[in-house]
Amino acid sequence: MPKIQVEVSARHCHLSQKDADTLFGKNYKFKVMKMVSQPGQFATVEDLVIKGSKSEFKIRIVGPLRQDTQIELAATDCYRLGIKSVIKVSGNVKGTPGAILIGPKGKITLNQGVIVAQRHLHVSPSEAKALKVNNGQVVSMKVKGSRGLIFNNVIVRSGPGHKKSFQIDTDEGNACGWVTGMTADLIK
Amino acid sequence: MPKIQVEVSARHCHLSQKDADTLFGKNYKFKVMKMVSQPGQFATVEDLVIKGSKSEFKIRIVGPLRQDTQIELAATDCYRLGIKSVIKVSGNVKGTPGAILIGPKGKITLNQGVIVAQRHLHVSPSEAKALKVNNGQVVSMKVKGSRGLIFNNVIVRSGPGHKKSFQIDTDEGNACGWVTGMTADLIK
């Protein structure tokens, strides 16, 4: 069973050009804090405030800009904010709950865009071939330890711009006792 | 495979007589808000504040009083408070992190007592017999749905005062997409 790095994706936000303009000013250049596992993507130095019906807190931005603004939260975050948690594959924001975003230059009220990401396995096309999996396939991933478990319903996401990484959110990371360097076995 | 109710145990606190006396006054009588699944146990109307190095928030008390004060948090709660998360079977508080508890009549600084509970299956002796499991046995529990998964390392806890219930914390509940009435399959 191939071992794959488990990565915990903490709450973060992807912005569209239009929303970035409103929140940070026209054509603002975000500063790279660090590159993240998926090629070309980076966490920015700047952050935002997300506000729901119950509370608000800071959220990290992941660049570069995208077609649509999308906020990825853990269900715990949704509960704390007072936003319904809806599990979706990243990119699929249609009909999802909204939120208020507050930046240094402005504020926007989103009608949709908040998702709890469906757990997924990123792989490049060559990695997909080596692992004998296809884009969209559903697999399972097994982690060991005192909170060992088998995650079912893991969606394979393959294509240019993807690199091998099994991604879960902070709730899932806590549920499986995630530690730095943890790997999981791919089970088909 | 026998189906068993999945119960999410949100953060809560069990108090010793001594600590209850300090926090609420000598021999204070707690008011029952509601009975919980395990026989004789109840959530109280009163709550407490728990404080770590980073923040503080309210926490529910579960009665009756016990030998030792024990605070059961999710790892997410630990992170938010600034308390190390240590996974332990309930009752095993030796060497665990402490916290500050603040009640209406006083404040205590605990040197130990904060645990993240190891997921467990409560069963009465007759239920254990029917399910063919023993106290201390390690089993697995499978839940279905969009976040379906198999929890391994589930400890069976059986004896008088236990009643059939598969108990997980809020992180685990979120990780498996818990909804009211969810059941799990016991896998040995």
The DSSP symbol for B147 reads T
pLDDT interval class at A16 (50, 70, 90): very high
Q: Check A149 against B148: CB less than 8 A apart.
A: no
Instruction: With a cut of 80, say whether residue B102 has pLDDT above it.
Output: yes
What percent of chain A stands above pLDDT 90? Answer: 96
User: Chain B partners of A177 at a C-beta cutoff of 8 Å?
Assistant: 87
Percent of chain B having pLDDT more than 90?
A: 96
Angle at B89 between CA B74 and CA B131, to 5 degrees: 110
Which helix (H) or strand (E) covers residue B155, if one does? Answer: strand B149-158
Q: Spell out the domain ranges in chain B.
A: 10-117, 119-187
Residue from the list A75, A152, A174 with its beta carbon closest to the beta carbon of B149: A152
Mean pLDDT, residues B67-76 taken together:
96
Chain B contacts of A72, Cβ < 8 Å?
Answer: none
> Per-residue pLDDT for A81 more than 90?
yes
Q: Does the distance separating the beta carbons of A146 and B150 come in below 8 Å?
A: no
Q: Hey, are the CB atoms on A76 and B172 less than 8 Å from each other? A: no
Interface probe with A: pick from B119, B174, B178, most Cβ of A within 10 Å: B174
| Contact residues of A toward B, CB < 8 A | 74-76, 85, 87, 118-119, 145-153, 168, 170-172, 174-177
Q: What is the rounded distance in angstroms from the CA atom of residue A102 to the CA atom of residue B28?
A: 46
ipTM: 0.89
Gap between the Cα atoms of A37 and A156, Å rounded? 16
Cα(B28)–Cα(B164) distance, rounded to whole angstroms?
A: 31
Task: Tell me the whole-structure pTM to 2 decimals.
Answer: 0.93
pLDDT for A119 equals: 97
Average pLDDT over chain A, rounded to an integer: 96
Q: Dihedral through CA B177, CA A153, CA B183, CA B186, nearest 10? A: -140
Backbone φ, ψ for residue B118 (5° rounding): -65, 130
| CATH number for domain B119-187, candidates 1.10.3470, 2.60.40, 2.40.128, 2.40.40 | 2.40.40
Q: Tell me which residue has tokens 């060559």.
A: A126
Residue A166 predicted with pLDDT over 80: yes
Over residues B34-54, the pLDDT tens digits come to 999 999 999 999 999 999 999
Residue B2 is predicted with a pLDDT of 80
Q: What is the pLDDT of residues A42-80, one digit of tens each?
A: 999 999 999 999 999 999 999 999 999 999 999 999 999
What residues are paired with A122 via a beta bridge? A157, A165
